[in-house]
Amino acid sequence: MTALDHAALRAATGAADGEQDRRAEIYRSAARIFHRKGYHATSINDIAAAVGLTKAGLYYYIKGKQDLLFAIMGFAMDQLDEQVIEPARRVQDPRTRLETIVARHAQLITQDSSALTILVNELEGLLPDDRADIIGRQRDYVDFIADTLAALRDEGKVVGLDPTVGAFSLVGMILWISRWYRTDGRLDGEEVVAAVTRMAISAVLSRGDYTSAGNPEETG
């Protein structure tokens, strides 16, 4: 049934032709509300009201609150796999691969950050088994980035940077976008994606003339 739920959510993100895709609307609404108020602060009633149902009516479509959360996270993880990891895996050059990862991940977030943000913020709302599942997939993602940084290091383009620390830091930078980016803000999504990607690449690539942070004497 989780697979079914994922399918519904996937349908929801596309154009909503919607017949009995009421289920899709539910997952989409739930993701939006979980994102805005947090999982624990959101009641089943909130979600039901948002889709024009009573609580009991909602339970015709869902199994429970925790399954709803797990389904949303699973969908977000699927999105990451399909839109970020798989495309990046097909890129040989490590630097271009890193650009692909950052740009595509950032792009997903600027488009719709709900599910992807829940994915990282509501882990403790899951049952232990579900949590282990999601955490494992997240670790795979970080490892994938770290491997890419290690490849860059082997090419000599990155020196003195721990790949794991680098991977985590880039992920932090990307995920934080959902906290400050506003669709109606000064910059549009493409500009934000470009700016963050540039920073990410610059953050890991070594500069020939790099001077260590330990020397504050050059203060004017």
Partner DNA sequence: AGTAGTCTACCGACCGCCCGGTAGGTTGGC
Partner DNA sequence: GCCAACCTACCGGGCGGTCGGTAGACTACT
Q: Which residues bind DNA (CB under 7 A)?
A: 20, 22, 42-46, 52-57, 59-60, 64-66
Nearest partner of 177 among 144, 143, 161, 200, judged by Cα:
200
- Please tell me whether residue 207 binds a second copy under the rule CB under 8 A: yes
Least Cβ distance, residue 215 to DNA (angstroms): 43
CA distance 39 to 60: 20
CA distance 99 to 193: 10
Which of positions 76-95 make contact with a second copy (CB under 8 A)?
Answer: 87-88, 90-93, 95
Which of positions 25-44 make contact with a second copy (CB under 8 A)?
Answer: 36-38, 40-41
- Burial (CB count within 10 angstroms: exposed 0-12, middle 13-18, buried 19+), residue 39: buried
CA distance 27 to 72: 7
- Please tell me whether residue 220 binds a second copy under the rule CB under 8 A: yes
Side chain identity, residue 127: L
Least Cβ distance, residue 87 to a second copy (angstroms): 5
- Please tell me whether residue 197 binds a second copy under the rule CB under 8 A: yes
Q: Which stretch binds a second copy (CB under 8 A): 12-20, 60-68, 111-119, 189-197?
A: 189-197
Binding partner of residue 172 among a second copy, DNA, none, CB under 5 to 8 Å per kind? a second copy
The angle formed by the CA atoms of residues 129, 69 and 31, to the nearest 5 degrees, is 155
Closer to DNA by CB, 23 or 137: give it.
23
CA distance 75 to 66: 14
Closer to DNA by CB, 55 or 89: give it.
55
Contact partners, residue 188, CB within 8 Å, separation at least 6: none
CA distance 156 to 150: 10
Structure tokens of 10? Answer: 């996937």
Per-residue x/- mask for a second copy, residues 5 to 24, rule CB under 8 A? --------------------
CA distance 65 to 15: 26
Closer to a second copy by CB, 9 or 88: give it.
88
Residues that bind a second copy (CB under 8 A): 36-38, 40-41, 87-88, 90-93, 95-96, 99-100, 103-104, 120-121, 124-125, 160-162, 164-166, 168-177, 179-180, 186-187, 192, 194-207, 210, 212-214, 216, 218-220
